[in-house]
Amino acid sequence: MASTAAFAATAALAGDPTRAAMLLALMDGRALTAGELASVAGVTPQTASGHLARLVEAGLLVVEAQGRHRYHRLASPLVARMVETLISIAGETQAPPVRVGPRDAALRHARTCYDHLAGRVAVGITERMVATGALVLGDDGGELTGSGQQLLLRIGIDVPAPGRGRRAFCRPCLDWSERRFHLAGVVGSALLDGLLALGWLRRTAGSRAVTVTPAGEQGVRGAFGFDPRASAGPETSLRRGA
Amino acid sequence: MASTAAFAATAALAGDPTRAAMLLALMDGRALTAGELASVAGVTPQTASGHLARLVEAGLLVVEAQGRHRYHRLASPLVARMVETLISIAGETQAPPVRVGPRDAALRHARTCYDHLAGRVAVGITERMVATGALVLGDDGGELTGSGQQLLLRIGIDVPAPGRGRRAFCRPCLDWSERRFHLAGVVGSALLDGLLALGWLRRTAGSRAVTVTPAGEQGVRGAFGFDPRASAGPETSLRRGA
DNA sequence: GGGATGCTTCGGCGCAGACCGAAGGATCAC
DNA sequence: GTGATCCTTCGGTCTGCGCCGAAGCATCCC
C-alpha cells in the first residue's frame, strides 16, 4: 500500500478534539491567529502552538506571518472537503449527543461552509433552483443551466465560465444540519459572495452563522421563489444519506 | 457546534494505524472476516476484535454473522468517500515516504477503488471518454452524455437511468496514485462490473489490484481508443491537485 | 459426544502524546 | 531604550489507549 501510515497520520491529526475544534473553526474560510485558535479550542497558547505546527507541517493548514500575529487557514478546498465529509459521517452515525441550543438554531438556519452558503436557507435556495430547472444536480455532480446562469445574472451575480480548471465548478455538498444538499464549488462560492455584496446576507461576528437582512428576505423570495422565513419550519428527518 | 466531539471521535477512529489498515483493506467493497482483517492489519484476533467492535458501533462498518464467521464491510459509500478523501490528502501533503515496490506498481496500473476502477487504466479510459465527448466532467461533478451512453451500450454495459436517487450517479474521484480523476458513482460502478463481466479485467486474489486480460487490452483499445499497455509510461507529476 | 476453529471478553502492561508552567525570541508601541 | 503582546521551545507529569496472554462462548466437523 502506498502508505497506510500517511493515511492514519492524517486522520489522527483531525482526530484530536483540540485540533478538530481548530479545523472546524477555520471552516468558514477565514484565517485566524494562533491565539484565537487557542481560545476557540480551549487550551493555552503553548499547547495550541504545538498543534498548529503539526497541522501546518502535515499540509492541512497554511500559515502567514503578519507582524507578531500568525494567521492560519485551511490549506486547500480539499482539506475543507475532508472536514465536510467527516462532519457528515459523524452526524450520520452518532445519536444526537446533546440538546441543540439557540446558537445551533442560528447555524442551522444559515451559515457559511468554507466558501459557500449552508443551512436551511442554502438548502431551500438550492432545491428551488433544481425545481425550476436553473440547476441540475445528481448526487455528487451538478450543472448550472443556461436559465440558471441568467437567473443569477439578473440579480447581479456573474458566474465565471466553467472551464477545465481544477477547481470544482458546481457540486452538491451534504448539509450536516439538514441532511440534504446545498450548492458548493465555484457557483456556490459566487452565490455566497454575491448575496453578501447585495446586502441580502450579513456575516455575524465570531460565528459561522449568517443572518438574512430584510432586503434579503424580499430579494431571495423574488429571485428564487423561496421564503427564508419559511425555513423556521419543523425539523427534517432524513435518516440515511448518500 | 453540533459536535466537535463526534467529529474528532470519527476521525480518531480512522487515525489509528491498525484501524486504518482495516478500512483500506475494505476499500474494494468486499466483506472480510474478523480474522482476515486481523491478519491484514498485523495484529492478534483479540486486538482486531476490539477495533472492529468500535468501528461497527460508530457506524463506519457493518457486520454480518455467517456461521462462525463475521463478515465486515464499509457501512456506506459515504464512508468509502471519507477514506478516499483522506487518501488524497495524505498523498497530497506527505512527501513520498518510502520507495514504491512492484506490488505498488500493479496497484498503480489498475485496481478497484471501493466499487469502481482506479489507477492508470481508469484514468486513461476516463480521460479518453472526456476527450471524445462521451463524458463531461467538472471537477466534482459529471455527466454521461448520450454518446457516452451509446458507447457503453455498444460493449454491453447498460447504465441505469440517472434518476433523482440519493446515490451519486456520475462523479470524478481523485486517483491517489495518478493525482488525476477517474470515474466513480453509479456509472463508474457499472463500468467496473461490466468490464469484469466481459472478461476484460480480472480481480487478483488478496489484493485490490486488477489485471487487464489480453481480450481486455484489445477491447479497451477498440472501445475507448486507449491502450492499457501504454500506461506503463513515465510517472506523472502533478504536484498540487484540486 | 469430543475436538477444532473463529471470535469475544477480561486484565494488566507499556508507550505515545496531550497538557501546562516556565522561560526565551520576535514584533509592536512609546 | 522599556514594556507589552504574540508566539514558540523546553521539561516534566499524567492519562488514554493499543497491545497481548489467558480464558470463555459459539459454531462447525466428525
Q: What is the mean pLDDT of each run of 10 residues along chain B (242 residues)?
A: 84 96 89 92 94 94 86 89 90 52 68 80 85 69 78 85 51 61 79 89 77 89 84 37 28
pLDDT value for B20: 97
Residue nearest to nucleotide C19 (CA to C1'): A47
Look at B11 and A8 and tell me if their CB atoms are within 8 Å.
no
Judged on CB neighbours under 10 Å (0-12, 13-18, 19+), B181 is buried
* DSSP string over A139-156: SS-EEE-HHHHHHHHHTT
Among B3, B12, B94, the residue with its CB nearest the CB of A12 is: B12
- The residues in A 119-158 lying below 8 A from B, measured between CB atoms, are 138-143
Residue-wise pLDDT tens digits, B56-75: 999 999 998 877 889 899 99
Q: A14-29: per-residue pLDDT in tens? A: 999 999 999 999 987 7
B169: left (phi > 0), else alpha (psi -120 to 50), else beta?
A: alpha
Confidence of residue A200 (pLDDT cuts 50, 70, 90): very high
Which A residues, 66 through 125, put their C-beta within 8 Å of a C-beta on chain B?
75-79, 81-83, 85-94, 97-98, 100, 104, 107
What value of ipTM does the predicted structure carry? 0.63
Q: Which residues contact A128 (CB under 8 A, 6 or more apart)?
A: A224, A225, A226
Q: Is the pLDDT of residue A186 over 90?
A: no
* Nucleotides in C strand less than 7 A from protein CB: 5-10, 17-23, 25-28
Which amino acid type is present at position A20?
Answer: A
The percent helix, strand, coil of chain B (3-state, each to 5) is 50, 15, 35
CB distance B7–A20 less than 8 Å? yes
**pLDDT exceeds 80 at position A191:** yes
Cell of B22: 482495516
**Residue of chain A nearest B19, judged by CA positions:** A8
Q: What is the pLDDT of residue A93?
A: 62
Of all residues in chain A, the percent with pLDDT exceeding 70 is 76
Instruction: Please give the domain boundaries of chain A with CATH numbers for all domains.
Output: 4-75 (1.10.10.10), 98-232 (no CATH)
